[in-house]
Structure 1
Amino acid sequence: MSSSSRRRRIVRTAVGLAAVLVLSVAGAGAWFYHRLDSNITTFDAGGVATERPPAPVPVTPGASVPVNVLVLGSDTRNDGNADLGGGEEGVGHSDTAVLLHIYADHKHAVGVSIPRDALVTVPSCRLPNGGWTSPRTNQMFNSAFTIGEFPKGNPACTQNTVETLTGLRIDHTIVVDFKGVAAMTEAVNGVDACVPNDVNSHNIHLKKGMQKLSGQPAVDYLRARYGIGDNSDIGRMKRQQAFLSSMIRKVQGLGFSLPTLLPLADAATRSLTVDEGLGTAMKLVDFAQSLQSIKLSDITFVTTPWRYSGERVALVHPDVDTLWKLLREDRTLDGQSTGQVGDASSAPAPATPTSAVSPTPLSPEQTAAPITVVNGVGPPGLAGKGAEAVRAKGFRNVALGPTNGGRLQTEIAYDPALKAVADQLAPLFPGARLVEEAGSEGITVTLGRDYHPTPATGLDAADAPAGPTAAATTRPAPGATPTPSGVPTGIAENSRGADTDPCADLTFG
């Protein structure tokens, strides 16, 4: 055989081997994607409300628009999750809820944590038999997930609830259970987390300090409520925000390439329930890759402005309304626009000044409403001066409460039946936040550092709180998240940057 014939034979053999290799890889890839697709569970879009908030309008055709993703953590013990979470099998609650708002420029994002005990309106939701419930007010937020007792929960109902609460259109909803958390943290070889103290409670055992967590310890860290930090659900959310930040940092460090994302997708899809828009592996990978331009420093986590209402949580108005309005207009928390959404060209969304309210004259019943004024700052005499201002308005049943120092912003807490009276009080305390507190006796005005009596009812110089505003006089503790400039106080107090020290501000107290 001639040398030229041998060369042609070698070339043909090489080409044949290459073709076999390509087909093999393609076949393996197709098999892998098929396996991922078969892992994914989707929920029926038929349970999503037909009347929904409008989709954002781009400035020009084809321009980017913001994306809202609702991420829910289910505490179900079904499908093997009892091995990680303990307890008995049953329909779980959505004890973790983060609304991720990805700005239209795809360079910034805000993750909003909604307390599981927050009292909200749960709108009409579909049942397994095809019927729909009636809307219910004053319900715990996490109860929406259990309506109908679907085996994997009712994420469509929770999505409906969030859309009703926020006025934001939810583009995607993702539910992750204990197994999903364990698998994803193992897929990235662990996530750095800060444990504020040794934990030996409720079969959870963690050591104090920074450490790399994956699998069972990661699940324990995220679900622990007792024996760690301040034992509160709010403190648990702060730890979850810090953990998510570390998870994002880890994935960004590994890169958004397919070799990184596909194993992560393989781990995640085995325990995910998603909307039909994310129902394939490639859709999940494409979505993840669309986020690669967002720097860690451009991600902020916020807990909805809140306060306790008995054993539950009340959302604080107008702060929470301001938060939703900022996101609906695709504005950053300090009111800046990305300039890519049509209705974002309207004015910024600061909280409506309470002093702008023009209440109607007081009725005899209103003047008799029980009002308690509390000194929430500390300097003696402040509550007395506040009470003088209330009496001067015409209210007759005014008392002083015990001093409770440390308050930054004045609050007016009222029973729903006394809202008209609270509206009458609001102009006396500019910037105060009004908090609906069902079952409270009368109205309680807790004065904060932002309250400055007018000269007619003012304090002596020795009694006056120092500094012009809370934001100007209050310095964060070492390592704590600084208050962002220009951000409404009720939002700033509940925010943390994703690049914040993971050991900082892990409790609400």
Structure 2
Amino acid sequence: MTGSHGQRTGVRDAREGGRAAARRGRVPAQGGAGGADSGGGPGRRDARGRPKRTRKRFVLAVTASVVVLVIAAVGAIYLKLNGNISTFDANGLSKNRPADSSAGQNILLIGSDSRAGDNSDFAGGVGDIGRSDTTILLHVYSDNKHAVGVSIPRDALVTVPPCLLPNGRWTQPAYHQMFNSAFSVGDTVKGNPACTQNTVEQLTGMRVDHTMVVNFAGFAAMTDAVNGVQVCVPNDIYQGDVDPNLGYKGNLVFGKGLQTVSGTKALDYVRLRHGIGDGSDIGRMQRQQAFLSSLIKKVESQGLNPTSLLPLADAATKSLTVDPGLGSAEKLISFAMSLKGIDLKNIQFITTPWKYVGSRVDLVHPDVDALWSTLRADRTLDGKDAGGKGGKNGKPAPASSSSAPTAAAVNGSGISVAVYNGTVSGGLAAKAAQALQADGFTVTGTTTAAQQDHQVTLIEYGSAHLQGAQALAKLFPGAQLEPTAAAGINLVLGQDYANGTTGPSGGGAPAATGPTPSVLPSKDAGSARSAADDPCSNLSYGAGG
């Protein structure tokens, strides 16, 4: 009994010793309660008897956590960017728009100098009416390998078509107006981007696919986000040049030569007008084109990665007001990524052909008509076909053999028109009359106009015939509408119709001037700059530039 008791006591002591060792973190080398799990494999248990986690399970858990965090971060970024974006009311777009051609995309870029909100930090004053300081029509070719930005002078005299007011009413057409007045229609702080888009569409005969408005504060923030942009100044600029009302020379603001600017200083550069060249808005536009070229170059050099793009996207979306078609971060990013394949040398900037008319600017015809014709046909400025397979929104691009705009379908029933040939080209009035009659218009007569130097087709109408004139204008994209005291509607054909850049095809006598020019005049095409150009080249119109 004593021996048996001693054996049981020894076994119990051994077990207790094993448990004590386990509590102290030591497992017996052999035998004991822990011996069975001392080997490897998925059945391992820890010192407390719990199953041990394998490395594989640990890695999977970490990977899943990272994926969840990435998804959450991306979602947060999209929500943040979406919350930044403002859109304008698309109801203000014209009901008389050019036909939608799938040859490339047209994006209207507007720089707003409203003094409201954060912009007052850069411009002074609060609650000022929104005004457009800069307007560029960007045509992205359907091959997605070329793009050209066309600067439209803010002082250019144009026709501003009917535009929607804040009270829901539409304005009457306004003739011989400064181009930038369209943005101010309605006298609101945010401006009227839809009215500017309507004006550009009527001016060019091209449908604008998207419109973006960027304000002062956002512009400055974007230059900060890319750590500055390289610019060149042709001569020293002082405080008195930046602010002509200062009354004295002041301190040096920009030294002559190449330099990097950001924030407020970048804004001062693109707004600078006096003290360089002839002090005109035309010269300033050329410097703005050079600035945009440098900005594009800087973004490309930093690479399309989150580290560089997210700060830029945040700054950009905070400053943008866009059409509903770009009213989300996903749409904006998708659009931006569609441009990444365009080489710097294939991004060009040009100013519409222009001339001074007193203190204002007039567009030169037929040169400007040839420019719009070139873009409508998806040809580069040197006349090459840049049509691609993709078109816009995935639709195939049409053949670009014709440079004439596509006229909208119009029912001319009940509308009477007198047709005049305002050019020296023979047979135009008869040709137009035949086309109008095919669309149901009643032609009351055809004859030669009193003056035969009309470059742009003119539609004159009496006060009771506005709607009929607007219907007629659908067949002549870019035509000028002008109210007169006379009754009825007069169609005065211009050189644009003779060139085939406006108007329907009626199968009548061919224009005596021959086919539509396929390229811009060399003097106009040669004035373009590419984003790859030297920042110090072609900076200003006039002496000293």
Q: TM-score, normalised by structure 2?
A: 0.66
1:165 aligned residue: 203
| Correspondence 1:30 to 2:78 | no
Distance 1:348 1:335 in 2: 15
Report Cα offsets for 1:314-342 as digits up to 9, x if no partner.
00000000000110111111222224432
Distance 2:285 2:450 in 1: 32
2:62 aligned residue: 17
Report deviation, 1:421.
5.7
Report Cα offsets for 1:414-462 as digits up to 9, x if no partner.
xxx9843678xxxxxxxxxxxx9xxxxxxxxxxxxxxxxxxxxxxxxxx
Which of 249, 255, 269 lines up with 2:317 in the alignment?
A: 269
Unaligned 5+ segments in structure 2 are 1-36, 46-51, 244-251, 389-396, 406-422, 428-448, 456-479, 481-517
1:280 aligned residue: 328
2:345 aligned residue: 297
Is the 8 Å Cα contact of residues 43 and 275 (structure 1) preserved in structure 2? yes
Which of 87, 105, 108 lines up with 1:42 in the alignment?
A: 87
1:498 aligned residue: 531
SS at match of 2:282: helix
Which of 263, 275, 298 lines up with 1:215 in the alignment?
A: 263
Q: May I ask how many residue pairs the two structures share in their alignment? A: 380
1:180 aligned residue: 218
1:342 aligned residue: 398
Is the 8 Å Cα contact of residues 335 and 348 (structure 1) preserved in structure 2? no
Report deviation, 1:347.
6.8
Report deviation, 1:282.
1.9
Aligned pairs for 1:334-413 within 5 A:
334-340=382-388, 341-346=397-402, 357-358=424-425
Is the 8 Å Cα contact of residues 164 and 171 (structure 2) preserved in structure 1? yes
Q: Over the residues paired in the alignment, what is the CA RMSD in angstroms?
A: 2.5
Is the 8 Å Cα contact of residues 373 and 403 (structure 2) preserved in structure 1? no
Which of 242, 259, 271 lines up with 2:307 in the alignment?
A: 259
Distance 1:29 1:347 in 2: 44
Distance 1:345 1:290 in 2: 25
1:107 aligned residue: 145
Report deviation, 1:21.
2.4
SS at match of 2:82: helix
SS at match of 1:344: coil
Report Cα offsets for 1:127-155 as digits up to 9, x if no partner.
11111111111010001001012321110
2:100 aligned residue: 55
Distance 2:330 2:254 in 1: 36
Which of 420, 435, 458 lines up with 2:452 in the alignment?
A: 420
Higher mean displacement: 317-326 or 195-204: 195-204
Distance 2:404 2:97 in 1: 24
Distance 1:11 1:244 in 2: 52
Higher mean displacement: 202-211 or 276-285: 202-211
| Correspondence 1:199 to 2:237 | yes
Distance 1:270 1:161 in 2: 26
Distance 1:339 1:145 in 2: 32
Higher mean displacement: 304-313 or 225-234: 225-234
Aligned pairs for 1:110-121 within 5 A:
110-121=148-159
Is the 8 Å Cα contact of residues 374 and 520 (structure 2) preserved in structure 1? no
Report deviation, 1:348.
9.6
SS at match of 1:345: coil
Which structure is larger by alpha-carbon Rg, 1 or 2? 2
1:78 aligned residue: 116
Report deviation, 1:41.
0.5
Is the 8 Å Cα contact of residues 69 and 170 (structure 1) preserved in structure 2? yes
Distance 1:328 1:191 in 2: 32
Distance 1:116 1:418 in 2: 32
| Correspondence 1:122 to 2:160 | yes
Report Cα offsets for 1:93-131 as digits up to 9, x if no partner.
111001000001010111000000000010111011111
1:460 aligned residue: none
Q: Which amino acid aligns with 1:323?
A: L
SS at match of 2:266: helix
Report deviation, 1:175.
0.5
Distance 1:324 1:219 in 2: 30
Distance 2:306 2:193 in 1: 29
| Correspondence 1:308 to 2:329 | no
Q: TM-score, normalised by structure 1?
A: 0.70
Report deviation, 1:221.
0.2
SS at match of 1:129: coil
Report deviation, 1:359.
6.8
Unaligned 5+ segments in structure 1 are 58-64, 350-355, 361-416, 424-435, 437-484
SS at match of 1:175: strand
Is the 8 Å Cα contact of residues 106 and 207 (structure 2) preserved in structure 1? yes
Distance 2:260 2:104 in 1: 33
Q: 1:505 to 1:99 in 2, by over 3 A?
A: same
SS at match of 2:270: helix
Q: Which amino acid aligns with 1:277?
A: G
Distance 2:106 2:425 in 1: 36
SS at match of 2:385: coil
Is the 8 Å Cα contact of residues 145 and 155 (structure 1) preserved in structure 2? yes
Which of 133, 138, 142 lines up with 1:95 in the alignment?
A: 133
Which of 179, 182, 186 lines up with 1:141 in the alignment?
A: 179
1:61 aligned residue: none
Report Cα offsets for 1:457-496 as digits up to 9, x if no partner.
xxxxxxxxxxxxxxxxxxxxxxxxxxxx964145235422
Which of 375, 381, 391 lines up with 1:333 in the alignment?
A: 381
Is the 8 Å Cα contact of residues 93 and 145 (structure 1) preserved in structure 2? yes
% same residue: 55
Distance 2:315 2:331 in 1: 15
Distance 1:174 1:46 in 2: 16
Q: Which amino acid aligns with 2:97?
A: R
2:502 aligned residue: none
SS at match of 1:173: strand
Distance 2:200 2:290 in 1: 23
Distance 1:50 1:189 in 2: 43
Higher mean displacement: 24-33 or 487-496: 487-496
2:465 aligned residue: none
Higher mean displacement: 222-231 or 118-127: 222-231
